[in-house]
Amino acid sequence: MGPLAQPPDSTSSSTPHHDRSSGARLEMTGISVSFGGVAALSDVSLTVEPGQVHGLIGPNGAGKTTLFNVACGLVRPDTGRIVWRGDELRRLRPSQLSRLGIARTLQGVGLFRGLTVLENVMVGAHRHARAGFVSALFAIPTSDRDEARLRARALAALEELEATPYAGRYPDSLPYPVQKRVALARALVSDPDLLLLDEPASGLSEDEMHELGDLIRTLSGRMSVLLVEHHMDLVMRVCDRITVLDSGQQIAAGTPAEVQADPAVTEAYLGDEVDVASDAAALTTSTDGRER
């Protein structure tokens, strides 16, 4: 467990910590989304159980990012309900996420080029800052204590991601895998109860992917995780449950072993020759090596 695993000190947050073992459930029910009349999602339901890693897989264009975007308020569904910790989120907006205890990393990296690594991560910590880093950015006076606390949290997040040596660097000067770690640190620094990850392993080497898998399992001890990912070995290793989409429809759901054994899943992947050919191969060869 990294430094962020320690309970936050009582002054670091005005939000009381919820019972994570029972409360951090995200339920999406009957979600449909169409773009210009074309259905991207049709009546899809998915529940991320507290403390679990829920995988969302499917061939290119299946609707994974669309569902992910619904969960983080970037896409408003045409139908369906989103319930987080028992409360329906009716008009969810991305700006509300950190207050709700939800953090995300997007497909790609998305760091601010003009800010150092440390500053980028501090931006993600504003849930825990009384005055907020945005006001700090615009030089609105905030206390030195808040600033110091924010900095300490950001450094702890960088430490957990083994990115401390890069704190003073600018994102563009760093290798892509390091940038991805910084983006993850930025998501973790708000100490979320739900972490949404869209393709966190893209661009990583096998070793880095393995480390990411270990990290995600560690994180699930203190937060629920929704993981959109193409790398089937990683998904099968770290997920408790998996939902499979194809052409906007849910075609399978279950444990990694159940999903792997489902002929509909293999068929969906085999029908798609390009990017996912290796996924399909992995799907038929990888085994669930994790003890549960």
Ligand X SMILES: Nc1ncnc2c1ncn2[C@@H]1O[C@H](COP(=O)(O)OP(=O)(O)OP(=O)(O)O)[C@@H](O)[C@H]1O
- The binder of 58, among ligand X, Mg ion, none, by C-beta within 5 to 8 A per type, is ligand X
Contacted entry of ligand X, Mg ion, none for residue 256, CB cut-off 5 to 8 Å set by kind: none
Nearer to Mg ion, 64 or 237 (CB): 64
In the complex, minimum distance from the CB of residue 40 to ligand X, in angstroms, rounded to a whole number: 3
Tokens of 47: 């529940």
Between CA 113 and CA 166 the distance in angstroms is 14
Spatial distance between the Cα atoms of 45 and 83, rounded to a whole number of angstroms: 11
Give the one residue of 65, 220, 224, 243 binding ligand X; rule: CB under 6 A.
65
Closest CB to ligand X among 62 and 187? 62
Name the binder of 101 from Mg ion, ligand X, none, CB < 5-8 A by kind. Answer: none
| Count of all residues that appear for the chain in the document | 292
Q: Pick between residue 53 and residue 244 the one whose CB is nearest to ligand X.
A: 244
Q: Is 60 in the site for ligand X (CB under 6 A)?
A: yes
Q: Which residues bind Mg ion (CB under 5 A)?
A: 64-65
User: Quick one: CA torsion of 237, 239, 240, 243, rounded to 10 degrees?
Assistant: -130
Instruction: Give whichever of 36 and 263 is closer to ligand X, judged by the CB atom.
Output: 36
If the CB atoms of residues 163 and 276 are measured against Mg ion, the closer one turns out to be 276
* H or E element, residue 252: strand 249-254
Among 50, 51, 55, 58, binds ligand X (CB under 6 A): 58
> Using CB under 6 A, which of 4, 24, 62, 123 touches ligand X?
62
Task: State in angstroms the smallest separation of the CB of 62 from ligand X.
Answer: 4
Q: Which of 12, 66, 120, 224 contacts ligand X by CB under 6 A?
A: 66
State both tokens at 20: 């994570």
Pick the piece of the chain touching ligand X (CB under 6 A) from 9-17, 63-71, 140-148, 282-290: 63-71
250 binds ligand X (CB under 6 A): no
Nearest distance in Å: CB 282, Mg ion: 18
Instruction: Please state, in angstroms and as integers, the Cα–Cα distance from residue 259 to each residue in 178, 210, 245, following that order.
Output: 32, 21, 11
Q: Are strands 53-57 and 224-228 parallel, antiparallel or unpaired?
A: parallel
Of Mg ion, ligand X, none, which one does residue 223 interact with (CB within 5 to 8 Å by kind)? none
19-48 residues in contact with ligand X (CB under 6 A) are: 35, 40
Q: Which helix (H) or strand (E) holds 66?
A: helix 64-71
Separation CA 262–CA 282 (nearest Å): 14
Query: In sequence order, what are the residues at sequence separation of 6 or more whose Cβ sits closer than 8 angstroms to the Cβ of residue 158?
Result: 117, 118, 121, 164, 166, 167, 182, 185
Please tell me whether residue 268 binds ligand X under the rule CB under 6 A: no
Q: Which is nearer to ligand X, 42 or 190 (CB)?
A: 42
Residue 114 phi, psi (nearest 5): -85, 0
Give the orientation angle of helix 277-285 with respect to helix 263-270, to 10 degrees.
150
Q: How many Å apart are CA 244 and CA 253, to the nearest integer? A: 6
- Please report how close the Cβ of residue 116 comes to Mg ion at its closest, in angstroms: 29
Interacting residues toward ligand X by CB under 6 A: 35, 40, 58, 60-66
